[in-house]
Amino acid sequence: MGMVLPVSACAAGAGPAVEQATGRFYAAVAAGQGAAACALLTDAAARSLPEPCATSILDVGLRGGPAEEVAVWGSEAQVRLRGDTVFLHRGADGWRVRGAGCRPGGERPYDCEVSG
């Protein structure tokens, strides 16, 4: 990436780790590696997809693109990509995607193709 993105947060130091996790997730999807993409989802997000996850995650049609803005607050993060908005959660094993393929819902939560 190389460019410095705006990171809003009290845990701004977590920005690169969040971006890396996001990049690995969309790279796996773009490469058709469904199992690798599913391994980067939270358990709840993986369960929200029809079985098997490795196939259905590729059927969603996720499009990432370059990251434009990162927000990290405690154990939660949001990355705005050119083609998507993604939400991540930090668990014991690092940052995992809890919402992807998300469209803004105004005052309501984002409407996400994958969420959990």
Partner 1 sequence: MIRRNGLSLFFMVAFALALAGQSFAGLGAYNDDQLGSGGTPVSWGAYVTSADFAVDVAENWQSEYLQFLLYIVVTVWLIQRGSPESKTGDIGDKVRPGSPQWARVGGLRTMLFANSLGLVMGAAFVLSWYAQSVAGTAAYNREQLSRLQDPVTWPEYVTSPDFWDRTLQNWQSEFLAVLSMVALSIYLRQRESPESKPVGAPHEETGTEA
Is the CB of 65 or the CB of 104 nearer to partner 1? Answer: 104
Smallest distance, Å, CB 64 to partner 1? Answer: 17
User: Site map for partner 1, 29-68, x if CB under 8 A?
Assistant: -------------xxxx-----------------------
Contact 18, 72 (CB under 8 A): yes
Query: What are phi and psi for residue 38, nearest 5 degrees?
Result: -65, -30
* Binding flag, residue 22, partner 1 (CB under 8 A): no
Q: What is the number of alpha carbons within 13 Å of residue 14 lying toward its C-beta? A: 22
